[in-house]
Amino acid sequence: MAEPATTALSVQEELDRRLFYLKTLYDMSCELFGIMEVGRILKHFLLMTTGNFGVIEGFLVLVEPSSREIEHFASVGIAEDSKTLLKTHAADMLRIGQEHGLIMDADHFPKDVAFHGLFALLVPFQVDGTCAGALGIGRKLVGEPYSSEDEDLLLTLVNSLVIALKNARYAEALKKAYEEVSSLNRAKDKVINHLSHELKTPISLLKAALTLLDRKLGDYPRERWERTLLRAQKNVDRLSAMQEEVDDIMRGKDVTTYRMLNLLLDQCADQIALLAADEVGEDSIIERIRERIEELFGPKDQTPEKISLDRFVAERLEALIPLFSHRKVRIQSDFDRARPVIIPPDALKKMVNGLVRNAVENTPDGGMIDVTVKEVGEEIHLVVRDYGVGITKEHQRRIFEGFFPTQETDAYRSGHPFDFNAGGKGADLLRMKIFSERFNFRLQMDSERCRHIPGENDVCPGSVDQCAHCTNGNDCADSGGTVFKVVFPSSGVEKS
Amino acid sequence: MKKVNEVKIDLQGSVAVIDIHGDITSQSEIILRSSYERLDSEKIKGILLKFEKATYFNSEGLKVLILILADARKRAQKIAVTGLSEHFKKIFGMVGITKFAKIYDDEDQAIKDLESFAGEG
């Protein structure tokens, strides 16, 4: 009768053990996958694994295989001198373990190795091409050898560890790459800023020189020099426009500094004034500091004004339409009489010009563009909708990054403003985005790529007449297009 | 949900009763370790770890206990444990904690045994 009772007891014990092992696996997955630092992952893993098997000593080592250098070492319950030995011989230990297989019993190590007897089992593992590792654990406190179930659990735990380490290493690599990109970005900003400032004067001088030349060459037959001079003027104008765009973009980055300094100055104005009056008898210092901040960081020529958007856009269209009279693009406009928006006129002008030009350059001849100004609740919406080629999903994500042209490849660009597929510098949209942050409006974009040219390298012929898929402008309008919406929130609109 | 640990130490001559509330996990490491380190190893020769019946121990928590028990052995301190559920009594045996510490159901008996051990020392 005693035997069944013993069997029942051992079955119960085995069930308890397995339940405990399962719980450890569950805890391990919960614990490890929330951690992104390799050191913390190793520590938790060691505590859990050695706790699960009832072991005092354990260590984990990560090695870079080609250099044999240790990347990480973590241990628990191991004396300092033993740690030194393990670290010194980590690469050899790992090599022997890898040659042996999945799990290596310490008895299989050559007796003469320095680390002999420091652990009972070694589990080598590979994290990725540049990282291998090994887990070593001591003998069980209960004195039993590791069973095959123990070894299975150990391998499963190590697999979880490898996944957690892979994730952490990806996260570390991403973080490092992000820091590197940020640093390069700052360097790039500095260079662009510097170049933009340095270019301003020579471009102005060139412009003036070309005007002077035009006047001086008046005595010579025009047909001999006019085309060359016009080409030079056009290119200097392009350089000037680019310099101005870059200047606007880079200036946007100073706005935070400008606001912060002004806020600080407002907060401390009284104290500074008192101090200045006491120390140097100077009582106009606050105004001088404010002027200096304005000079260094203030938005230049960018004073917001109340502008009637419907009238402003109508005037802009009137001025722009002659510039693309060579194009067969129909403009439909619908302007509500809306409350004035508050924005610097120069910024609004650049934005409207940019949106219209972008729409025209993306619309083939025979196509159309809608420009509307509407009052929607408390907001004012300016919408420029083209029924052109549209933007692929991939490009939509990057369109506001700057210097990212949305149009076809360089090979097809004309380079002439307002031509179909003229191929701008791609900075217009970034400039608008920066304006939107600076002058408190929202810029939204929704685009559907023309279904007849779905790929980035598919080309629109530039005219509905030449399109193999459309018979008229309506067919073209149905095939795709882009909407840019500029939303002035109630805070940027004059109260009614 | 994990319960936050609370620890009370009651010194009874050469025996310390460490009353531990909350689940024992890796987060318990600092409070358990500091509570143990606070005891004067020259004076305290018997330690009773008093848990609640509902206390949950995960494998990291067990390891934290094993390390403390190993240190106690080096310092010639005897450790007893009370308040464990039946399930964790088995687990303590399975992972070998019972090699370092005796498990009691009766707290008074545990203290009595620890006192007599301390007296022998």
Q: In this structure, what CATH number is given to the domain that contains residue B14? A: 3.30.750.24
CA angle A167, A172, A175 (to 5 degrees): 125
3-state secondary structure of A312: helix
A140 touches chain B (CB under 8 A): yes
* Domain assignment present for B47: yes
Residue of B nearest to A76 (CA): B67
B26, B66, B90: residue with CB nearest A54: B66
> Stretch A376-387: mean pLDDT, rounded?
93
* Domain assignment present for B102: yes
A16, A52, A141: residue with CB nearest B59: A52
| pLDDT value, residue A2 | 42
Question: Which of B23, B29, B92, B94 to substitute to test the interface with A, most A CBs within 10 Å?
Answer: B94
* Domain assignment present for B23: yes
Percent with pLDDT over 70 in chain A = 86
Tell me how close the Cα of B104 comes to any Cα of chain A, in angstroms.
Answer: 19
List CB contacts (< 8 A) between A142 and chain B. 93-96, 99
List CB contacts (< 8 A) between A24 and chain B. 58-59
Whether the per-residue pLDDT at A248 is higher than 80: the answer is: no
ipTM of the complex: 0.88
> Stretch A356-361: mean pLDDT, rounded?
93
Kindly determine whether residue A31 and residue B60, on different chains, have CB atoms separated by under 8 Å.
Answer: yes
A16, A31, A47: residue with CB nearest B63: A47
Position A113 confidence tier, pLDDT thresholds 50, 70, 90: confident
Tell me how close the Cα of A49 comes to any Cα of chain B, in angstroms.
Answer: 7
List CB contacts (< 8 A) between B60 and chain A. 27, 31, 44, 47-48, 51
Whether the per-residue pLDDT at A127 is higher than 90: the answer is: yes
Domain that holds residue B14: 6-120
- A249 vs A246: CA distance, rounded Å: 5
Whether the Cβ atoms of residue B73 and residue B62 lie closer than 8 Å to each other: no
A75 touches chain B (CB under 8 A): no
Question: Which of B92, B95, B98 to substitute to test the interface with A, most A CBs within 10 Å?
Answer: B95
Total number of domains constituting chain B: 1
Q: Under an 8 Å CB criterion, which residues of B touch A? A: 26, 58-64, 66-67, 70, 87, 90-91, 93-97, 99-100
* Neighbour-count burial of A1, counting CB atoms closer than 10 A to its CB (0-12 exposed, 13-18 middle, 19+ buried): exposed
Kindly determine whether residue A27 and residue B60, on different chains, have CB atoms separated by under 8 Å.
Answer: yes
* Neighbour-count burial of A289, counting CB atoms closer than 10 A to its CB (0-12 exposed, 13-18 middle, 19+ buried): middle
B58, B60, B66: residue with CB nearest A56: B66
Residue of B nearest to A142 (CA): B96
More confident residue, A53 or A242: A53
The 10s digit of each residue's pLDDT in A27-69 is 888 888 888 899 999 999 999 999 999 999 999 999 988 888 8
Neighbours of A9 (CB within 10 A): 10
Tell me how close the Cα of A477 comes to any Cα of chain B, in angstroms.
Answer: 59
List CB contacts (< 8 A) between A16 and chain B. 87, 90-91, 94
More confident residue, A270 or A414: A270
Position A1 confidence tier, pLDDT thresholds 50, 70, 90: very low
Whether the Cβ atoms of residue A324 and residue A365 lie closer than 8 Å to each other: no
Whether the per-residue pLDDT at A401 is higher than 50: the answer is: yes
Percent with pLDDT over 90 in chain A = 37
> Stretch A120-146: mean pLDDT, rounded?
91
* Domain assignment present for B10: yes
Kindly determine whether residue A13 and residue B67, on different chains, have CB atoms separated by under 8 Å.
Answer: no
More confident residue, A95 or A452: A452
List CB contacts (< 8 A) between B67 and chain A. 56, 76-77
Position A291 confidence tier, pLDDT thresholds 50, 70, 90: confident
Tell me how close the Cα of B99 comes to any Cα of chain A, in angstroms.
Answer: 7
Position B3 confidence tier, pLDDT thresholds 50, 70, 90: low
A174 touches chain B (CB under 8 A): no
Kindly determine whether residue B87 and residue A16, on different chains, have CB atoms separated by under 8 Å.
Answer: yes
Kindly determine whether residue A54 and residue B62, on different chains, have CB atoms separated by under 8 Å.
Answer: yes
Helix boundaries (H) for A300-390: 309-320, 345-361
More confident residue, A187 or A350: A350
Whether the per-residue pLDDT at A427 is higher than 80: the answer is: no
Kindly determine whether residue A51 and residue B96, on different chains, have CB atoms separated by under 8 Å.
Answer: no
- A342 vs A307: CA distance, rounded Å: 6
| pLDDT value, residue A466 | 92
Question: Which of B2, B25, B26, B63 to substitute to test the interface with A, most A CBs within 10 Å?
Answer: B63
A40 touches chain B (CB under 8 A): no
* Domain assignment present for B37: yes
List CB contacts (< 8 A) between B91 and chain A. 16, 20
Q: DSSP readout, A404-451?
A: ---SS-GGG---STTSTT----S-HHHHHHHHHHHTT-EEEEEEE--T
Kindly determine whether residue B26 and residue A53, on different chains, have CB atoms separated by under 8 Å.
Answer: no
A31 touches chain B (CB under 8 A): yes
Q: Record the pTM.
A: 0.56
Whether the per-residue pLDDT at A412 is higher than 50: the answer is: no
3-state secondary structure of A117: coil
3-state secondary structure of A379: strand
Average confidence score pLDDT of chain A: 84
When mean pLDDT is compared over A67-76, A93-102, A254-263, A264-273, the highest value belongs to A67-76
Pairing of strands B46-50, B15-21: parallel
The 10s digit of each residue's pLDDT in A161-204 is 999 999 999 998 898 889 888 877 877 777 777 777 778 888 88
> Stretch A356-380: mean pLDDT, rounded?
93
> Stretch A154-158: mean pLDDT, rounded?
93
Structure tokens at A23: 């719980």
Kindly determine whether residue B59 and residue A140, on different chains, have CB atoms separated by under 8 Å.
Answer: no
Instruction: Give residue for tokens 């990109």.
Output: A181
List CB contacts (< 8 A) between B96 and chain A. 54, 140-143
| pLDDT value, residue A227 | 86
Whether the Cβ atoms of residue A115 and residue A83 lie closer than 8 Å to each other: no
List CB contacts (< 8 A) between A50 and chain B. 63, 66
More confident residue, A425 or A387: A387
Tell me how close the Cα of B121 comes to any Cα of chain A, in angstroms.
Answer: 25
Kindly determine whether residue A142 and residue B99, on different chains, have CB atoms separated by under 8 Å.
Answer: yes
| pLDDT value, residue A411 | 43
| pLDDT value, residue A180 | 83
| pLDDT value, residue A98 | 79
A45 touches chain B (CB under 8 A): no
* Domain assignment present for B1: no
